[in-house]
Amino acid sequence: GNSVTQMEGPVTLSEEAFLTINCTYTATGYPSLFWYVQYPGEGLQLLLKATKADDKGSNKGFEATYRKETTSFHLEKGSVQVSDSAVYFCALIVSNTGKLIFGQGTTLQVKP
Amino acid sequence: GAGVSQSPSNKVTEKGKDVELRCDPISGHTALYWYRQSLGQGLEFLIYFQGNSAPDKSGLPSDRFSAERTGGSVSTLTIQRTQQEDSAVYLCASSLFSEETQYFGPGTRLLVL
């Protein structure tokens, strides 16, 4: 079946630290991959996406590369800020369906 | 432009009552989705409308849940005879076409007492 697995949270970092949130997936076909972010008290927002193998999505200093060989889409940022504190969701779209399958979410807390 | 809007933002109801949740998608988006976000289950797909095609209802958890989309725009999710386990945030999303980026509304927080 189709599924997404994210690293367990919460993740607590100091400001300017390097961030990695691991995400791996299982899917039939060739899914598109997404990272969504949910800031406290706000709705889900698209952070970045990649639609085919070796594509790199990037936004707001975050990056993730679609790795077909390892079925991964790890999220990275070189220097986190307090304002990056949020819940991050990795997701894939099941081919020919439009359904988003989400990972369980990873809470990031950045301390000054 | 305007994003996806949902109403009400919060709903408290008694067990056994019916509730209706409304979603207004982004104008021109042909695909509309409902998801549920709960503590125990994370984010789950419920139902998906694409244009005039029959909806994909494969994620609806029971026959107490139904949804319709009128005129290819506004959608209503109805939960009949609500149960406490239905308490969750119900999210609506829309996209220009199927498999394109989905844009989410702020959600309706449902609490069943």
What's the average model confidence in pLDDT over A59-74?
96
Q: Annotate A48-68 with b (16+ C-beta within 10 A) or e (fewer).
A: bbbbeeeeebeeeebbbbbbe
In this prediction, what percent of chain B has a pLDDT beyond 70? Answer: 99
Separation in Å, CA of B96 to nearest CA in chain A: 11
Of the residues A44, A92, A97, the best mutation for testing chain B's interface (the one with the most B CB atoms within 10 Å of its CB) is A44
Separation in Å, CA of B25 to nearest CA in chain A: 15
Determine the pLDDT at residue B1: 56
Determine the pLDDT at residue A80: 97
Closest CA to B48 of B29, B20, B27, B28: B29
Instruction: Quote the CA–CA distance of B73 and B22 in Å, as a whole number.
Output: 11
CB contact under 8 A, A45 and B104: yes
Decide if B79 contacts B15 (C-beta within 8 A): no
Determine the pLDDT at residue B86: 96
The pLDDT-based confidence of A9 (bands split at 50, 70, 90) is: confident
- Smallest CA–CA distance from A96 into chain B, residue: B99
- Model confidence at B30: pLDDT above 70: yes
Determine the pLDDT at residue A42: 86
Determine the pLDDT at residue B34: 97
Determine the pLDDT at residue B71: 81
Average pLDDT, chain B: 92
Whether residue A52 lies within 8 A of chain B, CB to CB, comes out as no
What's the average model confidence in pLDDT over A82-106?
91
